[in-house]
Every structure is written in C-alpha cells, then in structure tokens.
Amino acid sequence: MNEQYLLEMKGISKSFPGVKALDKVQLKVRAGSVHALMGENGAGKSTLMKCLFGIYIEDEGEIYLDGKKVKFTNPKQALENGVAMVHQELNQVMKRPVMENMMLGRFPKKGLFIDQKEMYDFTKKAFDDIGVDINPKVLTEKLSVSQRQMLEIAKAVSYDAKILILDEPTSSLTNQEVDVLFKTIRMLKERGMGIVYISHKMEEILEISDEITVFRDGKWVDTRDCSDMTTEKIINLMVGRELTDRFPPKDNVVGEPILQVRNLDGKYEPCVKDVTFDLHKGEILGLAGLVGARRTELLETIFGLRTKENGEILLDGKKVNNNSPKEAINNGFALLTEERRATGIFPMLDIRFNSTIANMKKYRKNGFLDDKHMETDTKWVIDSMKVKTPNQKTHIRTLSGGNQQKVIIGRWLLTDPEILLLDEPTRGIDVGAKYEIYQLIIDLAKKGKGVIVVSSELPELIGICDRIMVMSNGKVAGIDETKNLNQEKIMQLATKYL
C-alpha cells in the first residue's frame, strides 16, 4: 500500500446476472484533492462507488483507507469509518425537519426522548462548519435542490468524512448554485479531504479536478493529471474514438405549424402566464430560461398534468383539450419528464414493462396482452436506443441513469407521437449517449414530428434546435431562430421579467 494515497481500490471486480459491471478496476485518491471519475453510462463509475460505500460487496479486489485494509458491508459502516456519499438522486424524508434528516440513524437521546436542543445545535454547527445558512427546523421539502445537497454534504462532514463521493452533484443546479458548491468543495479540499467527483460536464471537471480517472465498459482506461487534459482527450478516452462533433448534422426540414398555443395561463401557482407560440412540423424548438422560469410547468400544462385556466391548444388547426395525460397521449402528445426516478420509471419492474406501459391499448388482443408483440417492441427499444442490459426482464432500477433515460425515450417513441415534449432529456447522460439522443431527436423531426426540448445547457439548445423560446418568470421573453442567438442574448432575455 502506497502511503501517499488516502484511498486505494485495487483489482475491484463486480458482476450481476448477465453482465460484468467492473473488471479489475483501480482508483487512487490523494488527501486534499478532487479526483474526477468519468466514463460513459454503464462504464461502472457508480458501481465502484457503491462497492466503496458498502451498498454492493465486490466479488474480488482490495480497498485501503488511510493505509488500512477495509471491507464495508453496509453504508453505516462506511460512514462511521469516514466514507460519505452524496447520491445523484437525494434520498431524504421530505416531510420532516432538516435537523431530523441530518441526524437520521443517530438521534441524540435525553432519557427516553429525543433531545431536540442537541439535535438543533448539532445541525446548526454542521452548517456553520461549511458556511451554509439553513434553518435546522424548517421542513426539508421547503429547501431548494442545492440546499438539500448542502444538507447531505454537511451531514457527510459531520461524520468526520475523509472521503466524500459526489455523484452528478450539479445536474439540477443553476450556475450560481454550482459556484457555491465549488466554493464548499475547495474548502473541504483544503482541510485534507479526498473528494471523488462523478460528472459528465467537461467544463466543470476541468475547473474543479486535480486528477481524472476514466472507465470504459467496466474497465480502467487511464488516470491523468487534470492539467494534461482537454475536453477532446477526455472524450477520446471515454468513448475510445474521436468525437469531432458534439452534435449531429441537422438535415430536418421545417414545415407549416403543427401545434399552436394561444394565451395559455396555468390555474395553480407556480404557473405560466399568457404563453403564445407556434411549433412547426419537422421543427425542434428549444425552451431556455433560468430555474423558476416555469419551462417544466409549460410542458406539464400542455400535457394535461397541470390545469389550465385560460388559452387554447391547437393540433393541426383543431382545438384539443388535454385534461389529463391519458387524453394527451390519445391526442398524439408524449412527455419525457425531468425527474426520471420520481416520475419516469417504474423501478421495481422490468425493461419490457417500462418500455410498453404508455402503449398498452396497442397490445390488447381478445382481452389479453399480446406478449410476443410487447417482446418485439421492447427489442426495438433496446436495439434502436442502444440500451446496455442483459435482457428484457432486467429490472430498470439496476441500469445506469443514461440507460434508464434511453428506455423512457424509447417508450414514448413507441406511441408514435405527433408532439414530443422533452424535459432535460440528456441530464446525467454521457457525451456518447447524448450524441445518440440528439440524432434520435433530429430523426423524429425529419419524420415531420414537432419536438420541444427543455435544457439548462445552452450549448445543447444552440446545437440541436431550429428556434429557441426564452422564458422568464412564467412568461415568454422572446423567441428567435437559433442562428440569431448566442448564450449572452439568451441570458439577457431570461432575466427580462425578474
């Protein structure tokens, strides 16, 4: 064991039925450093961290922490020995106060009762330690995503963590919130903590990391100093080939209007206000805006998830009433939701169910489900979306985030929608899979479909959209052809009604 490393994982292998997730991989993290762990979806990054954190037990290999060999069989052991993990999907008890979430599993007692004062004081000190101002007594559901993340980081630090694992920590954060997170990371780094940082965002990795390790298909590829790396070099290591263009060539033809939205108002706050726009056949329309711009609310109102107060929605010139998602699907609409774990997947069920659930009426035959037809369609989803899975009966929760996203997109494509509403379709997805999803979006547009894409990544909107509509505080701040826009103009419009 080399004493210069705070953490060393050597020869780690892990298999699941039908797939070898990790094949003798390694990771070495120095004290007082940020070590980025990168790779395409399904490369094995999260699996390795779950082995370290005691969620999975590795099949072979050794883990050393501070020079001592360790083997954690559950997360509680890992936490008590100085390894903490902030998951991409935050698991918190939303209806309970912040301080209870901080103290889960270790409530201080005063006789037979929980010591409320000690719990408050402990939580307050934990926040003070990382320079965060959050009221310990407020309900957790009242916090923003970034504040909930800071709660998890403060909790990790309160366990005297030596190693902190951050899995896609900025996927739901604004630029200002990312700045706050990076400030906290640098402070923890100065205290000698080793931080493992998993992300697909190249610019962030190059800004915050000291070293970068790349995995591909469950194998270790390389570890290099961040100073020696560029976006192009990282992509090349991740995908094993040059990816010269981040976006496919656009050859869709924009036709006459297919969707017309007129003076749309939502009924319940937060809601959209007086939204009017057209979407054309074969067009990819981007929706830009800051957090709170109500882009998601607009898609949900169009799709019937939210109640509209006023306004009209016309499809091919005919008024449609999407009073529920079921009506919207029957009218030719499809919605890919932003939070795939909460509102997208059925985690305890298999890929076949998750692929076909939106299209059940197609599979009914004499009162029974046509299993052969469902099997054929699921095969199409797996093949066309390049989903990495052992078979159709695999539970979707065991797939990587990117592969889950591909299944959900495939699900909606099976319904053959006229209007596809995509809310952050590439969040938490690697650069290779992003390219495949961009190509799918363009292919849909080429078939004359209308596509609306919400994304917080402006280069993505500029790269794949024909026009971009910018929203600000629930209103349309501007709409123009992409060729006339840049990031500065979009950001100016995004603040128009604040």
Tokens of 122: 């402990």
pLDDT, tens only, 220-250: 999 999 999 988 888 888 877 555 677 899 9
Whether 212 and 276 share a structural domain: no
Whether 92 and 131 share a structural domain: yes
| Segments of 305-414 assigned E as strands | 308-315, 318-319, 333-336, 364-365, 368-369
| Of 61 and 199, the one with more pLDDT | 61
Q: Is the pLDDT of residue 272 over 60?
A: yes
* Domain annotation covers residue 250: no
In a 3-state reduction of DSSP, which class is residue 494?
helix
Last residue of a domain, one of 210, 239, 268: 239
pLDDT (0 to 100) of residue 368? 86
Q: Is the pLDDT of residue 433 over 80?
A: no
Whether 281 and 412 share a structural domain: yes
Last residue of a domain, one of 239, 265, 296: 239
Q: For the chain, what is the domain count?
A: 2
Contact 226, 258 (CB under 8 A): no
Whether 350 and 474 share a structural domain: yes
pLDDT, tens only, 158-169: 888 899 999 888
pLDDT (0 to 100) of residue 210? 96
Which among 96, 122, 98, 97 has a CA at the least distance from the CA of 109?
122
How far is Cα 285 from Cα 212, in angstroms, rounded to an integer? 36
Query: What is the pTM assigned to this prediction?
Result: 0.65
* Domain annotation covers residue 252: no
Angle between helical axes of 175-190 and 145-158 (0-180°, round to 10): 10
Whether 325 and 184 share a structural domain: no
* Domain annotation covers residue 246: no
* Domain annotation covers residue 452: yes
Q: What is the mean pLDDT of the chain?
A: 89
Whether 490 and 353 share a structural domain: yes
What does each C-alpha distance from 451 to 56, 284, 300, 313, 442 come to in angstroms?
40, 5, 15, 15, 9
| Of 191 and 340, the one with more pLDDT | 191
pLDDT, tens only, 85-136: 888 777 788 899 999 999 988 898 888 898 899 999 999 998 888 888 899 9
* Range from 71-85, 297-311, 364-378, 424-438 carrying the lowest mean pLDDT: 424-438
Q: Is the pLDDT of residue 414 over 60?
A: yes
> Which amino acid appears at position 483 of this protein?
K
Centroid of chain to Cα 123: 28
Q: What is the mean predicted confidence (pLDDT) over 477-482?
A: 96
Q: For residue 344, what is the DSSP state?
A: I
Whether 230 and 270 share a structural domain: no
Q: Is the dihedral of CA 170, 176, 181, 186 positive or negative?
A: positive
User: For residue 488, what is the enclosing H or E element?
Assistant: helix 487-494
* Range from 4-8, 36-40, 243-247, 424-428 carrying the lowest mean pLDDT: 243-247
* Domain annotation covers residue 247: no
User: For residue 79, what is the enclosing H or E element?
Assistant: helix 75-80
Percent of the chain predicted with pLDDT > 90: 52
Beta bridge partners, 334, equal 420
Contact 451, 284 (CB under 8 A): yes
Contact 333, 316 (CB under 8 A): no
Per DSSP, the residues of 413-480 read HHT--SEEEEESTTTT--HHHHHHHHHHHHHHHHTT-EEEEE-S-HHHHHHH-SEEEEEETTEEEEEE
CATH number at residue 196: 3.40.50.300
* Domain annotation covers residue 481: yes
Domain residue limits at 233: 5-239
Tokens of 290: 């800051």
Last residue of a domain, one of 239, 269, 284: 239
**Burial track 254-293 (b if 16+ CB lie within 10 A, e otherwise):** beebbbbbeebebeeeebbbebebbbbbbbbbbbbbbbeb
Whether 341 and 224 share a structural domain: no
Centroid of chain to Cα 6: 29
Q: For residue 52, what is the DSSP state?
A: H
| Of 156 and 182, the one with more pLDDT | 182
pLDDT, tens only, 436-462: 889 889 998 999 999 999 998 888 999
| Of 345 and 264, the one with more pLDDT | 264
Whether 210 and 286 share a structural domain: no
Q: Is the pLDDT of residue 431 over 60?
A: yes
First to last CA, the chain: 56
pLDDT (0 to 100) of residue 2? 47
Whether 331 and 219 share a structural domain: no
SS3 content of the chain, % helix, strand, coil (to 5): 35, 25, 35
* Domain annotation covers residue 342: yes
In a 3-state reduction of DSSP, which class is residue 222?
strand
Whether 162 and 275 share a structural domain: no
* Domain annotation covers residue 251: no
Whether 224 and 290 share a structural domain: no
